[in-house]
Amino acid sequence: MAERIDKVSGIARLELTAEEKKKFEKDLDDILNSFRKLSKIDTTKTVPTFQPVEVKNITRKDIVEESLSQKEALANAKNKEDGCFRGPRAI
């Protein structure tokens, strides 16, 4: 079963200690068990609700507006170079 937590934490890009994996494995089981009651309620004819108050087709004029300056956008970054964010190798 530890494979399950390895898989989930891998997808979530979340490094966990062995102890955390053990704890979350049990928690996940307990929580999912308590959620089983959802299967008792019939939803065959029900549509899902993604937003409780629907707002449709809101657009704005395609005009360039003021935004953060490059300096402001980079103000919180420790790793930066030539006006860009610096990050780890992706490939």
Q: Could you tell me the two tokens for 47? A: 């549509």
Distance in Å, CB of 82 to other proteins, minimum: 15
Distance in Å, CB of 13 to other proteins, minimum: 5
5-41 CB burial, b ≥16 within 10 A, e <16:
beeeeeeeeeebeeeebeebbeeeeeeeeeeeeeeee
DSSP state of 45: T
Indicate whether 18 belongs to the interface with other proteins (CB under 8 A): no
> Judged by CB under 8 A, which of 48, 62, 82, 83 binds other proteins?
48
Nearer to other proteins, 64 or 90 (CB): 90
Identify whether the C-beta of residue 10 lies closer than 8 Å to the C-beta of residue 2: no
Q: Could you tell me the two tokens for 43? A: 């939803």
Indicate whether 1 belongs to the interface with other proteins (CB under 8 A): no
For binding to other proteins (CB under 8 A), which residues are involved?
4-5, 8-9, 11-17, 20, 24, 27-28, 30-32, 34-35, 37-39, 41, 43, 46-53, 55, 58, 60, 68, 72-73, 75-79, 85-90
